[in-house]
Amino acid sequence: MSTFSLFLALLQLVGFLFPLRVSAIRKDIGFLEERSCRTTVQGRYLISDDEGNVCDALSLDSRTRCCPWKGERFSCHGCNLLSQCCSSYEFCVSCCLNPNRTLLEKAVKIKVAKPATAGTYRSVFDFCAGRCRHNSESVVHENAYHSKFHHCFSLTSNASGANLTQIETRLLGIDVIVGSQGDSCDAVCKSRGQLCVMNKLSLLNQCDVMQRYMTCKGSCLASAGADQPAEVVEDAPRDLYPGACLYTRTQSMLSCDGSHQYTRRLCPCA
């Protein structure tokens, strides 16, 4: 037998003895799924992707449309976490995407618009991107905002969809007065030769209503106190949220004689 024939026979023998090792050599090799992101399009300089990252437009991966994996995910930079409002649209979306703040099962039940026939959001990203856009309710005099924190992502509003026109109708004959710092509504109305109308306080105890009469700079916060609804004065200690409006979730606490040294009350007088 020639040397070449002997070599071929050895190759066949090796293939017969070790077929499994050869045939299985690539069975455990897989490929990672490629990243692919949806992004916001509103910002001039910053972009937020649907993974909760914020980056500048130049850093965005042109192929995956994702921000780099660096920096803080779900960043709430420039946001007031109590009011859930932010000064930046992109960071509002990023903060909103945190699953600890916005639950999928709740976000997809929210209507995109006010009409009863409007559809609901399809995902948390759709909810956050839509909710964080400012709307007509955050604007005063058609071209100015109530405050710099006008990008908000709260699932519900304090007014619970109440019709402001109906509220105004129920306030006919009532003078809505912003009091002086530290005054009770009894004192505010008495200075005008009027009385505080106790059963109208609940109508004023709503963010949408307060923002019509007060600046509510920065936020509208749930609180607990007999001086509410009220606005915290600008020179109040920082831990009292200067400029914020306060409403109470406990209706039984509403009172005409309540007051606080650092708030100005919103009062129904007649």
Average pLDDT over residues 146-158: 67
Asked if 54 contacts 75 with a C-beta cutoff of 8 angstroms, the reply is yes
The highest-confidence range among 19-28, 82-91, 101-110, 254-263, by mean pLDDT, is 254-263
**Does position 98 have pLDDT exceeding 50, yes or no?**
yes
Please state the rounded mean pLDDT for residues 226-252.
90
For the chain, what percent of residues have pLDDT higher than 70? 74
Predicted pLDDT of residue 225: 87
pLDDT surpasses 70 at 15? no
Residue 236 burial (CB count, 10 A): 18
d(CA 3, CA 11): 13
Q: Which pLDDT score, from 0 to 100, does residue 148 have? A: 66
| CA neighbours closer than 13 Å in the CB half-sphere of residue 26 | 2
Q: Is 104 helix (H, G, I), strand (E, B) or coil?
A: helix
How many Å apart are CA 180 and CA 187, to the nearest integer? 9
The answer to whether 49 touches 71, Cβ cutoff 8 Å, is no
Q: Give 20's pLDDT tier (boundaries 50, 70, 90).
A: very low
Distance separating alpha carbons of residues 92 and 128, to the nearest angstrom: 8
Q: What is the distance between the alpha carbons of residues 213 and 203, in angstroms, rounded to a whole number?
A: 13
Contact 189, 177 (CB under 8 A): yes
Q: What is the percentage of the chain residues whose pLDDT exceeds 90?
A: 41
